[in-house]
Amino acid sequence: MIAKVSLALLLLLPFLSLNARAQTESEGLGAFYTGEYPNLLREWGLSDAEIQARIDMAWDQLFYGSDTTQRVYYPVGADMAYMLDVNNGDVRSEGMSYGMMIAVQMDKQEEFNRLWNWAKTYLYWAEGPHAGYFSWQALPDGTRLDSNSAPDGEIWMATALFFAAARWGNGAGIYDYEAEANAILQAMLSKSGQNTLVTDMFNAEHHMVVFVPQLGQISQFTDPSYHTPHYFDLWARWAQQDNEFWARAAEVSREFWHTTAHPETGLMPNYAEFTGEPRPWGDYGEFFYADAWRGAMVVANDYAWFGVDPWQVEQSDRLLAFFHDLGVGQYNSRFYIDGTPANPQHRSTGLIAMNATAALAASSAIRWDFVEEFWNTPIPTGQYRYYDGLLYFMALLQLSGNFQIHHLDA
Nearest to 323 by CA among 303, 298, 348: 348
Q: Output the DSSP codes for 114-148.
A: HHHHHIIIIIB--SSTTTT-B-SEE-TTS-EEES-
**DSSP at 279:** -
DSSP code for 85:
E
Which entry of 94, 111, 200, 223 is annotated as an active-site residue?
94
Mark whether 43 is an active-site residue.
no
- Residue 39 contacts residue 400 (beta carbons within 8 Å): yes
User: Hey, is 209 helix, strand or coil?
Assistant: strand
- d(CA 57, CA 336) in angstroms, rounded, equals 35
The C-alpha atoms of residue 125 and residue 129 are separated, in whole angstroms, by 9
Catalytic (active site) residue 291: yes
Please state, in angstroms and rounded to a whole number, the distance separating the CA atoms of residues 312 and 299: 6
Helix H, strand E, coil C: the string for 11-71 is HHHHHCCHHHHHHHCCCCCCHHHHCCCCCHHHHHCCCHHHHHHHHHHHHHHHHHCCCCCCC
Determine the Cα–Cα distance for residues 375 and 335; give it in Å rounded to an integer. 24
Query: Helix 349-357 crosses helix 367-375 at what angle (to 10 degrees)?
Result: 140
Catalytic residue among 180, 233, 286, 291: 291
The dihedral sign for the CA sequence 266, 94, 71, 108? negative
Catalytic residues: 94, 291
